């Protein structure tokens, strides 16, 4: 919780909030990190030796926490461009219309804008081991400005 915040609500703009993420998504990510299939330098070694039952318990805990409401200024023009792009790309068909995620698909609504932008750029520019190939393909060819619009929209989703 030092990085992901109290009850899983991150205070660090480039660190995801875990509160309210789907349990199965969290379980899968924790296993991928533990097994070295997802390289997150900040997490290196933290899950070494953690048993599956403990991973299930951690995932359940964070899934049950309430996501904190995001604060900050909404730029209406950016938000509307992001909304239109999300609709065009059918983001809600997987992440659900409220962007809360489901099963193995993460919650996007209310995540930190810098985290969302960084994650989307990684999917687009550095697909690799432990990364979602569907997201890499979905974001392929998008400009940085479009990713920024999407990140703003999702971070401030209402």
Residue 91 marked as a ligand binder: yes
Q: Is 156 annotated as a binding residue?
A: no
pLDDT per residue as tens digits for the range 3-60? 999 899 999 999 999 999 999 999 999 999 999 988 888 998 999 999 999 999 999 9
Is the confidence at residue 81, as pLDDT, over 90?
A: yes
Cβ atoms of 55 and 30 within 8 Å: the answer is yes
Domain residue extents for the chain: 6-64, 76-155
Dihedral sign of CA atoms 106, 108, 111, 115 in order: positive
Q: How far apart are CA 44 and CA 139, in angstroms?
A: 27
Please check if 43 is assigned to a binding site.
Answer: yes
The confidence score (pLDDT) of residue 126 equals 86
> Is 3 part of any known ligand binding site?
yes
58 annotated ligand binder: no
Q: Look at residue 130 in the predicted model and tell me its pLDDT.
A: 64
User: What value does the mean pLDDT take over residues 86-107?
Assistant: 97
CATH domain 76-155 topology: Cytochrome Bc1 Complex; Chain D, domain 2 (1.10.760)
Fold adopted by 6-64: Cytochrome Bc1 Complex; Chain D, domain 2 (1.10.760)
Mean pLDDT of the chain, nearest integer? 94
């Amino acid at each position: 919780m030092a990085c992901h915040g109290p009850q899983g609500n991150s205070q660090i703009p480039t660190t995801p909030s875990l509160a309210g993420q789907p349990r199965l998504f969290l379980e899968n990510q924790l296993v991928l990190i533990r097994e070295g299939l997802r390289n997150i330098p900040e997490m290196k070694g933290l899950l070494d030796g953690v048993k599956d039952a403990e991973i299930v318990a951690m995932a359940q805990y964070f899934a049950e926490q309430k996501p904190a409401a995001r604060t900050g200024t909404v730029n209406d023009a950016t938000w509307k461009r992001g909304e239109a792009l999300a609709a065009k790309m059918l983001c809600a068909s997987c992440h659900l219309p409220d962007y809360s995620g489901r099963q193995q698909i993460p919650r996007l609504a209310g995540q930190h804008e810098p985290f969302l932008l960084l994650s989307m750029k990684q999917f687009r520019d550095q697909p690799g081991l432990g990364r979602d190939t569907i997201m890499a393909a979905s974001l392929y060819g998008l400009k940085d400005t479009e990713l920024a619009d999407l990140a703003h929209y999702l971070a401030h989703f209402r």
